[in-house]
Amino acid sequence: MNRYPVWKYAMLVIALLIGALYTAPNFFGEAPAVQVSSGKATVKVEPALVGRVQTALKAAGVNADFVALEGTSVRARFVDTDTQLKAKDTIAKALNADPTDPQYIVALNLVSRSPQWLARLHALPMYLGLDLRGGVHFLMQVDMKSALTKKAESLTGDLRILLRDKSIRHAGIARDGNTVEVRFRDKATLESARRLLNEQLPDLVWTETIEGEGFKLAGVLKPQAARAVQDQALKQNITTLHNRVNELGVSEPVIQQQGADRVVVQLPGVQDTAKAKDIIGRTATLEVRLVDDSAEAAAAALGSGPVPFGTERYVERGGAPLIVKRQVILTGENLTDAQPGFDGQNGNEPAVHLTLDAKGARIFRDITRENVGKRMAILLFEKGKGEVVTAPVIRSEIGGGRVQISGRMNTVEAADTALLLRAGSLAAPMEIIEERTIGPSLGAENIKLGFNSVIYGFGAIAVFMCLYYLLFGVFSTIALAFNLLLLVAALSMLQATLTLPGIAAIALALGMAIDANVLINERVREELRAGASPQTAIATGYERAWGTILDSNITTLIAGLALLAFGSGPVRGFAVVHCLGILTSMFSAVVFSRGLVNLWYGRQKKLKGVSIGQVWRPDAAKPAAEL
């Protein structure tokens, strides 16, 4: 009766192997590495960069363990720090022709030393939280009110232009908070305006009021449109933050949305909060200027003449120089949105659609009217250095604040350009509402403390179990160790963030997991006390204990899930491990320990006794069950 079919043993062996495989990367430690990431919003890290880094290293005779593209950066691992430093200089020299204006950020950091074949199986070490590895954590609140105000402002401009285009006479347009208001003198005009606005501006809901002699239409954003504006703002802010954070050369930055209007930024290894804040808070600026295409300018661009008075020389994305007038027509402030899309008239040609605010639209119309056939340049300034993002030819006068840039672009380029045009600014201002800095030595200390408490606690339990339940205690201890293995493997597999409360949860999970084994062992003893034969006692002991184990684990799991659902920060770190621990413990304490018992005792047909410690009977002649 105490035999497992072969498939059950096979399943246990497979679970053991998978557990061991995914736990393994945690033991390799970390090795020095060099990380290359983009230094500018206009520079993208592409697979080709891996080749460039490899050739540079080969030319200098530096041996790398591997060079690979991971996310948005290329990483190369080295044997020791001397090679690492040499490699850093080599790569920096090869990639950045001009050290004062670096295209790429080359930084030193650490990567896991585990072999590549493990990484290919996605067997990675546990992802350590900031309290264990040191670093900076920011929680930023996005000011959604101002995102909505900005939208209302741009809608006011659209509205003005719409009414003028259709020659509908109004008595004033104003913005009051997030409400757009239009006044009319008579009812008929209001009605025609209302029809037009419903058709052209579907994002707004209009309400009509009588105001003194005249009439008033007030428009507010529909809830779903407002939500879309907020989503967009948050996404744009996250993209912008990504671009900026690259510069710190952090190995695994986390930039995530939290809730409806918050962004979490975690920069492991960074200690310098002032610099981090500076970089996060910096704004890149966008400028629109005219291109000088006179003969002198053409000569200056080729480098054969001086740069004409009142102009500057900039490099276009792709490398060609361009002479641009100093006078700034528009800045990024006038640009409300930039989206990739397709040319409306010219079939399916990729294009970038820009939306300007009312003031920008007016200036833009005047400028384009006077400069048809000429080129204009859109420049992005970062860290005081400008670069031309795109320089299209003006085909005709553009009014209405909706600008389309098309021609000589594929869809990817259109998307990139749109991103760059948006990258300049944050869609809405952000404020730091939570900040945490943890020094690296404190992180290491926390790992040690957490690890020690798990080990000593485990040791104490193991000693007690083995003394009290003898061989069954040994089985329980092995099952507990298996539980620890599974838990660490699951955490590595899920790449859930392990924090100090998480380690505490591991300890607690082990402390609670032993409960199941105690229940089983006590039940088996009880059966033996009642006079059951050893094999029957084992079988009924496990069977009866199972119901109780399930019940008690479910109540614990309810608390764990509540913590997971409502917890944040350290509580969440605790809850994830707590819930996982409950699940792994049910498997290891019941299925795995039974497997061990079956393997040991199951084969013996005439089992005389089991080693579960002393079974004391109150009255040998009268078993307890008859009471």
Partner 1 sequence: MEFFRIRRDIPFMRHALVLNAISFLTFAAAVFFLTTRGLHLSIEFTGGTVMEVEYATSADLGRTRAAVDSLGLGEVQVQNFGTSRDVLIRLPLRGDAKQSELASRVFDALCKAEAGTVATKQYTTPQGEQVSRPSCSTAGGSEPLKLSRTEFVGPSVGEELTWDGIKALGATVVGIMLYLAFRFEWKFSVAGIVANLHDVVIILGFFAFFQWEFSLAVLAAVLAVLGYSVNESVVIFDRVREAFRKFRKLNTREVIDHAITSTISRTVITHGSTLMMVVSMLIFGGPTLHYFALALTIGILFGIYSSVFVAAAIVMWLGVKREDLVKVSTKDGDPNDPNAGALV
616 binds partner 1 (CB under 8 A): yes
Q: Closer CB to partner 1, residue 32 or residue 392?
A: 32
Q: Closer CB to partner 1, residue 29 or residue 407?
A: 29
Q: Closer CB to partner 1, residue 109 or residue 334?
A: 109
464 binds partner 1 (CB under 8 A): yes
Concatenate the DSSP letters of all residues of 49-85 into one string: HHHHHHHHHHHHT---SEEEEETTEEEEE-SSHHHHH
Q: What are phi and psi of 184, to 5 degrees?
A: -130, 155
Q: How far is the CB of 91 from partner 1 (least distance, A)?
A: 14
450 binds partner 1 (CB under 8 A): yes
Binding mask 574-593 for partner 1 (x = CB under 8 A): xx--x---------------
Helix, strand, coil abundance in the chain, percent, nearest 5: 50, 25, 25
Q: How far is the CB of 626 from partner 1 (least distance, A)?
A: 10
Strands 376-382 and 311-315 turn out to be unpaired
Amino acid occupying residue 458: F
Applying CB under 8 A, among 25, 249, 253, 386 the residue interacting with partner 1 is 249
Binding mask 497-516 for partner 1 (x = CB under 8 A): ---xx--xx-xx-xxx-xx-
Applying CB under 8 A, among 107, 280, 356, 358 the residue interacting with partner 1 is 107
Amino acid occupying residue 571: V
Q: Which residues 33-62 are close enough to bind partner 1 by CB under 8 A?
A: 33
Q: How far is the CB of 584 from partner 1 (least distance, A)?
A: 16
438 binds partner 1 (CB under 8 A): yes
Q: Which residues 202-221 are close enough to bind partner 1 by CB under 8 A?
A: none
> Which tokens go with 454?
């798990």
342 binds partner 1 (CB under 8 A): no
CB atoms inside a 10 Å sphere around CB 237:
23
Q: How far is the CB of 348 from partner 1 (least distance, A)?
A: 47
Q: How far is the CB of 507 from partner 1 (least distance, A)?
A: 5
87 binds partner 1 (CB under 8 A): no
Strands 376-382 and 73-77 turn out to be unpaired
Q: Closer CB to partner 1, residue 76 or residue 394?
A: 76
Q: Closer CB to partner 1, residue 372 or residue 558?
A: 558
Q: Closer CB to partner 1, residue 211 or residue 272?
A: 272
Q: Which residues 266-325 are close enough to bind partner 1 by CB under 8 A?
A: 269-275, 277
Alpha-carbon span 263 to 544, nearest angstrom: 50
127: nearest Cα among 37, 252, 248: 252
Q: Which residues 345-364 are close enough to bind partner 1 by CB under 8 A?
A: none
556 binds partner 1 (CB under 8 A): yes
Q: Which residues 227-246 are close enough to bind partner 1 by CB under 8 A?
A: none
Give the range of 94-102, 291-299, 398-406, 559-567 binding partner 1 by CB under 8 A: 559-567
456 binds partner 1 (CB under 8 A): yes
> Which tokens go with 256?
């995530």
141 binds partner 1 (CB under 8 A): yes
Q: Closer CB to partner 1, residue 200 or residue 548?
A: 548
Q: Helices 223-245 and 144-165, interaxial angle, to 10°?
A: 120
Residues whose CB falls within 8 Å of the CB of residue 118, separated by 6 or more in sequence, listed in order: 21, 24, 25, 124
Q: How far is the CB of 68 from partner 1 (least distance, A)?
A: 18
30 binds partner 1 (CB under 8 A): yes
* Tokens 């960069």 sit on residue: 49
558 binds partner 1 (CB under 8 A): yes
81 binds partner 1 (CB under 8 A): yes
Q: Which residues make beta-bridge pairs with 377?
A: 289
Are 371 and 394 a contacting pair, CB within 8 Å? yes
Q: Closer CB to partner 1, residue 166 or residue 617?
A: 617
> Which tokens go with 155?
């809608």
Alpha-carbon span 122 to 116, nearest angstrom: 10
399 binds partner 1 (CB under 8 A): no
Q: How far is the CB of 566 from partner 1 (least distance, A)?
A: 4
Q: How far is the CB of 512 from partner 1 (least distance, A)?
A: 6
Q: How far is the CB of 441 from partner 1 (least distance, A)?
A: 7
Residues whose CB falls within 8 Å of the CB of residue 158, separated by 6 or more in sequence, listed in order: 201, 401
The 3-state secondary structure of 83-148, one letter per residue? HHHHHHHHHHHHHCCCCCCCCEEEEEEEEECCCHHHHHCCCCCCEECHHHHCEEEEEEEECHHHHH
547 binds partner 1 (CB under 8 A): yes
Amino acid occupying residue 318: G
Q: CB-based burial of residue 439 (10 Å sphere; 0-12 exposed, 13-18 middle, 19+ buried)?
A: exposed
542 binds partner 1 (CB under 8 A): no
> Which tokens go with 319?
């490398």
